[in-house]
Amino acid sequence: MKNKKLLIVEDDEVTAMNLRFSLEKQNYSNITVAYDIVSAKNKIALLSPDIILIDISLNDTLDGIDLADTIHKNNAIPFIFLTAHTDEDILDAASKTEPYGFIVKPFKPSAVHAMIKMALYKHAQEKKRENDQKSLALLIPFAELYHFDMENCQTFYNNEKLNLTKSENLLMQLFITKLGSIISFDFLIEHIWKNNKGTEYSVRTLVWRLRNKLPTDIIKSTFGIGYYIEK
């Protein structure tokens, strides 16, 4: 926890300091305190904390909920509410901002520490799932056992990256973007040899090299027109 940046948003100075001292005893060393919503927004922008503890009632209002709503909409930062409230309407309004938990005052240091650990773990798992989903969305399956990584312009067979040159992977990318459609010699020359030095012979040579590196014969030709890979 030493490297985690923690922001406490609490308008009561005594409560904020007690919370800070109790967390320092739990080996938190990077703690910042904000006493109002304006200061909190500035510190969030400046410090990009890893987690935020927010008092629901700031300056005798529900500004804590407003701040949490702003964080939820604009920042990918987990937050936990500090509250002395048991009013169902207030708790329901706070819950709509999707906090990672509630800490009821008066709090126990061990409970705060456990809640923070749980929130950080949950947030890390959510980010991992989100990144995995993004990666999968950029992996285009084709033919049998092949897929193409659109983000990194790389070709895989049976989950093993193929050792292709930049031009060969670019050729594969063009095939994937027009999967099932014939790509003409002119189109390939224009998109691979942008300096206009490519020729039909250049295309045939590149396709020949690529075919020799692929584990299976998936590139089809249409005589005198171009090449394609079937869907």
Q: Name residue 2's amino acid.
A: K
Q: What is the DSSP letter of 181?
A: S
CATH of the domain at 189: 1.10.10.10
**117 and 151 co-located in one domain:** no
**86 and 156 co-located in one domain:** no
Mean pLDDT taken over the chain? 88
**9 and 31 co-located in one domain:** yes
Question: CB of 10 within 8 A of CB of 33?
Answer: yes
**70 and 157 co-located in one domain:** no
What's the pLDDT at 211?
95
Q: Quote the distance between the C-alpha of residue 177 and its chain's center.
A: 24
**114 and 33 co-located in one domain:** yes
Listed residues 136, 160, 191: the one ending a domain: 136
**107 and 190 co-located in one domain:** no
pLDDT one-digit tens code per residue, 19-41 = 999 899 888 889 999 999 899 99
For the segment 203-225, the average pLDDT, to the nearest whole number, is 94
**186 and 122 co-located in one domain:** no
What's the pLDDT at 1?
60
Which residues span the domain enclosing 186? Answer: 139-229
**116 and 146 co-located in one domain:** no
What's the pLDDT at 110?
85
43 has pLDDT over 90: yes
**152 and 180 co-located in one domain:** yes
Highest mean pLDDT among 51-55, 58-62, 120-124, 189-193: 51-55
85 has pLDDT over 80: no
What's the pLDDT at 228?
94
**16 and 123 co-located in one domain:** yes
Place of tokens 């590139």: 219
pLDDT one-digit tens code per residue, 146-199 = 999 888 889 999 989 999 999 999 999 999 989 899 999 999 998 888 766 788
Q: Which residues pair with 8 in a beta bridge?
A: 33, 53
Q: Name residue 95's amino acid.
A: S
Total count of domains within the chain:
2
Taking the C-alpha atoms of 20, 26, 31 and 36 in order, what is their torsion angle to the nearest 10 degrees?
Answer: -40
**Percent of the chain with pLDDT strictly greater than 90:** 53
Q: Which of 22-26, 59-63, 77-81, 205-209 has the lowest average pLDDT?
A: 59-63
pTM, two decimals, is 0.60
54 has pLDDT over 90: yes
**129 and 160 co-located in one domain:** no
Question: CB of 62 within 8 A of CB of 91?
Answer: no
Task: Say if strands 160-161 and 102-104 run parallel, antiparallel, or are unpaired.
Answer: unpaired
**104 and 158 co-located in one domain:** no
pLDDT one-digit tens code per residue, 114-146 = 999 999 999 988 887 776 666 555 788 898 899
> In terms of Cα–Cα distance, which of 215, 212, 203 is closest to 175?
203
Is there a cis peptide before residue 106, judged by omega within 30 degrees of 0?
yes
Question: CB of 53 within 8 A of CB of 103?
Answer: yes
Task: Say if strands 160-161 and 51-55 run parallel, antiparallel, or are unpaired.
Answer: unpaired
Listed residues 76, 102, 136: the one ending a domain: 136
